[in-house]
Structure 1
């Protein structure tokens, strides 16, 4: 079962590459990271890691859909949420970065981490992405919680 999920995830991610074969080769034999263009199959919203990790935890609530692919960049201290493409790119806010058409995203294969990039939730190959509404709500709630906790934590 897991091998089938990884294979589907690999195919789904590699489909965003200009050359899917070269992408898969790079994952298996190169540095393990491929640059994929956002905007065709998915966009990526990145947020500071504390905010993103708390929001992801909030998205695991009963009754909500299973969260979509989520990537962490430990070097940059950011969490990336894969969303449906949005031509308006309407995500704005302090610390938010939105990668849409014309932007490139570094990703490891779904089956392992590469250097500083690691999947918190790897793509399953079914095309499931984060629904924007629940993600926005979780980010707002996480932001509020962090604002309350900041004075207690000395930040």
Structure 2
């Protein structure tokens, strides 16, 4: 059962589905608690390596009251930041994958635990997304901090 505040998040997420009603019905009854949703309509997803993504999320927390939705895969090996639609096609960055128009994302039901992908930042239902400029800055800052701790290779 979803937390009551997650209803707006569910509605926002299923609004991108080809058939939102069918998607919601299946999602709420799926024992895995996941749905496959198309990127590139309301949002794209930038997928970062886990360590960089976790560090960048920490920096984003210092820069903004609330970043957009963020997903983590099993083991936190990759993090997906929801950014404005169209960002993935323009993004140039080593080690960062983009999911935009023509791609689909496995999305867990907000407020429900799953065996794999999970929310680190649940959608607010209002359409808040991570600003790609802030994300890029956060990535640079996270990388610099890692190098400052001796995380670079010699």
TM bracket, shorter-chain basis: 0.7 to 0.9
> How many equivalent pairs are there?
151
The answer (yes or no) to whether the contact 2:45–2:88 under 8 Å persists in 1 is no
The answer (yes or no) to whether the contact 1:70–1:81 under 8 Å persists in 2 is yes
* Matched ranges for 1:6-155 at <5 A: 6-30=6-30, 31-61=32-62, 64-75=64-75, 77-86=77-86, 89-151=89-151
What is the alpha-carbon distance in structure 2 between the residues aligned to residue 16 and residue 56 of structure 1?
25
Q: Any idea what the Cα deviations from partners look like across 1:88-121, whole Å, max 9, x if unmatched?
A: 7222222200001001111011111322111011
The structure-2 alpha-carbon separation of the partners of 1:76 and 1:19, relative to structure 1 and needing over 3 Å to count, comes to farther
TM-score if structure 2 supplies the norm length? 0.88
The structure-2 alpha-carbon separation of the partners of 1:108 and 1:151, relative to structure 1 and needing over 3 Å to count, comes to closer
1:18 deviates by 1.3
TM-score if structure 1 supplies the norm length? 0.87
What is the alpha-carbon distance in structure 2 between the residues aligned to residue 78 and residue 87 of structure 1?
18
Q: The residue matched to 1:125 in structure 2 has which SS?
A: coil
What is the alpha-carbon distance in structure 2 between the residues aligned to residue 88 and residue 44 of structure 1?
7
Moved over 6 A (4+): none
Q: Any idea what the Cα deviations from partners look like across 1:51-102, whole Å, max 9, x if unmatched?
A: 11110111111x6241111110125710000001126722222220000100
What is the alpha-carbon distance in structure 2 between the residues aligned to residue 138 and residue 13 of structure 1?
25
What is the alpha-carbon distance in structure 2 between the residues aligned to residue 89 and residue 121 of structure 1?
23
The answer (yes or no) to whether the contact 2:40–2:85 under 8 Å persists in 1 is yes
Q: Which runs of 5+ in 2 are unaligned?
A: none
